[in-house]
Structure 1
Amino acid sequence: MSQSAPPLRSAEEIEANASFDALLWALSRPGQIRHLPKPGEAALIDALIDRECRVYSADPLLIPQVMRSGAEIADMASADHVFLATVQDSEVLKSLQLGSDLYPDEGATVILRCKLGAGAHLRLSGPGVNGTCDLQVAGLPDGFWQTRAQVMRYPTGFELILLDGDRLAALPRSTIVEVL
């Protein structure tokens, strides 16, 4: 009986797996910075998006890549994954899908561009954080963290992925953010 060799992964699959690993690691350790194999949202689109997803993108340059994945282009209120690029007004957080008590997993995953290591000094606590963790984030509008706190009602809410080039930090809906 001959034994078949396992299929070889393509460079794109290896990169998508590395991006997915970085994202899961960041979500399980809120506020800790992880590196993607390449900068920008493209790595996250390849890792997260498939034909079962509904996606909103504020950046029209991302739409062709989202469409190649087979995902449905949706409005922000019904999207599973929301690529906001940069945010000028924190009120946009009130338009996101938050899930329900029965289906909290229907809350959106939001990807924002920002500057990590500068700006607002945050203290994080909650599941996945050993005591507290400090993080600095710049490039978000005034009132962003207060608006986030207003719309979150655990277990409902949204996952927040903060993207700075090839670096990312994640804040699950369960993470409590205190602005210092």
Structure 2
Amino acid sequence: MLSAPLPSVEETRANQSFDALLNALSRPGQIRTLPTAGEGSIVDALLDRECRVFCADPTLLPQVLETGAMIAELPDADLVFFGPVQDAEALLSVAQGSDLYPDDGATVVVRAPLNVGSKLRLTGPGIEFHHDIKIAGLPTGFWHMRQELIRYPMGFDLFFVDGDQVLGIPRSTKVEEL
């Protein structure tokens, strides 16, 4: 009799993180819960040897390296871990993809307080009418810079992490500052 192998605790956590991330992008602006706090959950869920990663957070870098992912310069990265964003200009170098390969756009992970700060209105796929959210700690001009850069289907997807909470904003979502 054959039986399927049981997943390890680490595999189970990575699967829970992946589910939370997928749900966060499919329902923009709705906060999901990661199994553990911080970007480490995202590292475990998304990184492997085929990923090119830019990591601005030196405390996260050892965990990124353990995955075997390739460390890349910002314009070449598939996944970008900014930590807290200091300057909106950093978005200028994030991979946007191309008309032929829009999926080459990066996934950007930012550490920022959720449910406080500037009020934003989200509209687009996955949102019935609109969804209002609050995100604090972003530099002046962040949302304007994103709007200038995104030319759907080209662009980049965003995850905001606050402890064990994650909020996704895909490139298809329009963000209006209120």
- TM-score bracket, normalised by the shorter chain, equals over 0.9
Per the alignment, residue 163 of structure 2 pairs with 165
Question: RMSD of the alignment, in Å?
Answer: 0.6
Per the alignment, residue 55 of structure 2 pairs with 57
Per the alignment, residue 15 of structure 1 pairs with 13
| Structure 1 position 30, deviation (Å) | 0.3
Higher mean Cα deviation, 61-70 or 40-49? 61-70
Per the alignment, residue 45 of structure 1 pairs with 43
| Structure 1 position 17, deviation (Å) | 0.2
Matches of 1:11 and 1:25, distance apart in 2: 21
Matches of 1:127 and 1:50, distance apart in 2: 29
Matched, 1:4 2:2: yes
Equivalent positions of 1:30-109 (< 5 A) are 30-109=28-107
| Structure 1 position 67, deviation (Å) | 1.3
TM-score under structure 1 normalisation? 0.98
SS state of the match for residue 61, structure 1? Answer: coil
| Structure 1 position 47, deviation (Å) | 0.1
Equivalent residue pairs, number: 178
Matches of 2:133 and 2:99, distance apart in 1: 29
Structure 1 residue ranges, 4+ long, deviating more than 3 angstroms after superposition: none
Matched, 1:131 2:129: yes
Matched, 1:151 2:170: no
Structure 1 unaligned blocks of 5 or more: none
SS state of the match for residue 5, structure 1? Answer: coil
1:87-111: CA deviation from partner (whole Å, max 9, x where unpaired): 1110111110000011010000000
Matches of 2:128 and 2:111, distance apart in 1: 26
| Structure 1 position 63, deviation (Å) | 1.5
